[in-house]
Structure 1
Amino acid sequence: MHPDDQIDQKLTPQPAATRSNDGASPERPRGRHAATETARRSVRALLESTPARVALATAVTCCLAGAGAVAASRDTTQAPAPQVAEAVADRALAAQDEAASRSLDRSPSPAPASPAPSASASPTAKPSAKPSAKPSASPKPKKTKATPTRPKPVAGLTQAQMDNAKVIVDVGVELKVPRQGLVIAIATAMQESTLLNYASGVLPESQNYPHQAIGWDHDSVGLFQQRPSSGWGSVRDLMRPAYAAQAFYAALLEVPGWQQLSLTMAAQAVQISAFPYAYAQHEERARAIVAALT
């Protein structure tokens, strides 16, 4: 007799049940169904009060149903229905408490931010800065060609005249002309052009080259007023002070015994001037100029 089956017992008394072949009592299904229905009502109340826990309540129902199926297949005597209902109710309450502590309706809490690994702590981190370059050696000063100093004018000459005198002396020194030859050349240029590089008004071509003055003495050009028509050279060559000086020295060295001649006679032997004694007036200044340049 089962306390939860009183109505059935009064209406239809049943003899004591004998075990069937499957070991299940004919009254056990009703008792199990009643216990299962009580559990389902508890679970349904739980589901209605907590909509967000649908998944968990469903899982509890499946567990209870499985437990009933297992109990049906066991070959044991029927457990009292009140105990089954009480056990089911306890399971439901336990499931409710567990569901409350493990709510499905929750947002994941942010994970604590892990400190970013420093560049020095990471074994694969590349060095942040390249090693400092070796200090470069101080640059060596570039060697610049020394600008030849212009000679300081002497004997009342201008800088342009002194520059031309230096060219004449330098060419003579290079040709190894004796000192007296240098003095003769300077005195001759002082008489012929006042130590200025002349172009000729008669030869327009001469004005195409660097010059410092223009003269009108036939086709005479340059420092020594040499004439292209007399075979001294081309206009272009004679307008170059170095070439003109070289041409004068070449002619002087061909004069026999020029070193024993006076300055006037030696210069006249080269120039064939209409005023042969004009060169002597420049001898003293010419010596001072040569002394300053050698």
Structure 2
Amino acid sequence: MPDPSTTHRPRGRLHRSGAALVVLLAVAGYLVVQYVTGGAGAPGCKVVSAGDGGTSSYEFTPEQAVNAATITAVGTARELPDRAVTIALATALQESTLRNLDHGDRDSLGLFQQRPSQGWGTPAEIMDPAYSAGEFYDHLVKVPGYLELPLTDAAQRVQRSAFPDAYAKHEPDAALLAAALTGGAGATLTCEGRPGTTRAQGPDAVREALVRDFGRDVLQPAGARADAPATAAPAPGGSDGRTVTLPVSGGSGPAAARDTERRGWQLAHWAVANSSALRIERVSYAGREWVAGNTGSTWRPTGAKGAGASGGEPDGGPVRITAARHTR
């Protein structure tokens, strides 16, 4: 009779090989899903400090990027200083890790864990990031001398947290985010531009989101009528009308030029931060461009002719945001 151990050994190897193959396929499938959906908590965005000697950086998710961009846009639309934006971002990092939470301690909700029972608004209002950011700023500006206070003290005057010193540890990351998202540091924020789970909606969705965060004026050139239509220009090399063009030129003089450049980079970084949610494929400004799927996380020179000192058009030119093709 054949040796039983000899008979079963190949079958055992076959079972083990099959099990290993199943595990490998499961891992591969998981990685594909993680890439397509943007990952479950995996960083897909990065902001770095400006300047040749800068080494500081902060990595965060596309969800966090969208919320940080909204908080910043609401603050700058109110013409608040960068310090106010930094305080707001640090507060949201502590309270919700920049996620729009539908739960919290007792009835706390949203980015800033605001409580309907304490007069912050209805649950639906608080779950609107633009509304909750506005409520935070409304309370912050009422704090006497908040710009001179230590960040954690200013935040605590608004939040009245059981952990009043917790906000301080987020100040470095919040400052990096604020510098990029207010436009103070150009070409410092990048995302991988993962498509997420939403269908592409085209330039209309981009314009709607811009108005939501910045207000209607963001779509208009300086001095234009408020009811004038926003422009939609063809994408580079094509004529499909998928590119939203935002003019950012202002007055003359060095101060106006600096303000214009800051505005341009704020809008450009906002678009990159929203790239996964809005299916944005390309953003260009001041002779630089970001392209979705660029794992090198860089703003590359466009090589535009007639470029000024910034590498782009003499005044930086418009911000161009190219969305993916519309799908139903």
Q: Normalising by structure 2, what TM-score? A: 0.39
Q: Which has the higher contact order (CA 8 A, sep 6+)?
A: 2
Q: Normalising by structure 1, what TM-score? A: 0.43
Greater radius of gyration (CA): 1
Choose between structure 1 and 2: higher strand proportion: 2
Choose between structure 1 and 2: higher helix proportion: 1
